[in-house]
Amino acid sequence: MAASEDRYVFHVEWFDAQADVIRRYMLTMYPRDNSIEMYDPRNKRAFLKRTEYAEISLGDLYIGAVVTVLSRQLKVIDYADDYTRRALESRKSRTLALVKPDAYNHIGTILSAVQSAGFVIARLKMVRMNQGQATEFCRMQGLGPEDAQHLQADVCVAMELVGDDAVGKWLAICGPADPNEARQKAPKCLRAHIASDRIKNGVHASAGHSQAEAELGFFFRWQRRPLAHHGDVQQLHTLCRQAARVCLGGGDRQPHPG
C-alpha cells in the first residue's frame, strides 16, 4: 500500500443468529481500487484480507448504514479513527426527526420538506410514549416536565433521516425552537409555520451526531431493517395518514418506542 493512499476505517457489527451473539470488526475501505479488509479485534487477527469488493463504495459507509459482506449484514456503528471521522462526519450521516403530537395536521408538509431536502427515510414508526419514556427522552436533551407531558399526550412519528450533513440540515429545516424567533430569523423553516410555542413546536431535531445516535437508539433499538428508501415518500404519506386515524380514533397503540 502506498504511504499516501487514502483509507477509511469503521467499527462494524454483525449479529450472528446461529450463536445469538453480536460480533464486532474493523472494516477498512480503500477507495483507490474499491477494496476492503476486515480485522477481528477480539481475536486479534485478520478476518478478511484486502480484496476488491465492487458491491460496496465509500458512499455506502456511514454511521447507521447496513452493508453486506460475505453474506453478512454489517452495521456501521462508529468511525474507527480521527481521520475517517473528520473526513466523513459532515458527509452522509443520519439523524432523528420526531413529529410531535401537535403536528398531526402538518405531517404532509413535514414529509414534503424531508423529500425536498433529499433525505432518505430509513426507518419510520408511530409511537405512544408513557410518562417514564417521555421523561427519559426529554432528559436526553435537558428538557423539562412540560415537554415530557406534551410528548406523552398522544402519538408521535419518529423517523431516521439519512443524507449529506443530516444533523445540520434537519436542524436548519426545523429552525429555532421558539416560533417567534423562528419567524424572525428563519421565516421559511418548519417551526415558523407550524409551531405555536416552545413546547408545541411541531418537530424535534437532534442537536449533534452523538445525540442523534442516542436518540435513534431510543426509538429504533429493536428495529434493524430499513422501512423506506428512495421513491417511497408517497407511501409514507399514506402510512402516516392511516396510522394517525387509527391512533387518534382509539385503535391499537404502540406500547414502547423501542
Classify the phi-psi angles of 206: left when phi > 0, otherwise alpha if psi is within -120 to 50, otherwise beta.
beta
Residue 136 has pLDDT above 70, yes or no: yes
Q: How far apart (Å, rounded) are the C-alpha atoms in residues 29 and 47?
A: 14
Beta bridge partners of 37: 28
Grid coordinates representing 75 are: 452495521
- pTM, two decimals, is 0.67
CATH topology for 92-248 is Alpha-Beta Plaits (3.30.70)
pLDDT for 122 equals 82
- Neighbour tally for 110: CB within 10 Å: 21
Is CATH 2.30.29.170 the right assignment for the domain spanning 8-88? Answer: yes
Q: pLDDT tens for residues 27-79?
A: 999 999 999 999 999 999 999 999 999 999 998 898 778 899 999 999 888 88
pLDDT for 249 equals 41
With 0-12 CB in 10 A as exposed, 13-18 as middle and 19+ as buried, what is 189?
Answer: buried
- pLDDT range class, residue 131, cuts 50, 70, 90: very high
Which range, 48-57, 234-243, 245-254, has the best average confidence (pLDDT)? 48-57
Q: What DSSP line would sit under the chain, residue for residue? A: --TT---EEEEEEEEETTTTEEEEEEEEEETTTTEEEEEETTTTEEEEEEEE-TT--GGG-STT-EEEETTEEEEEEEESSHHHHHHHTTSEEEEEEEE-GGGGGGHHHHHHHHHHTT-EEEEEEEE---HHHHHHHHHHHT--HHHHHHHTSS-EEEEEEEEETHHHHHHHHH--SSHHHHHHH-TTSHHHHH-SSSSS-SEEE-SSHHHHHHHHHHHHTT--S----TT-HHHHHHHHHHHHHHHHTT--------
Residue 216 has pLDDT above 70, yes or no: yes
What share of the chain in percent tops pLDDT 90?
65
Tell me the domain boundaries of the chain: 8-88, 92-248
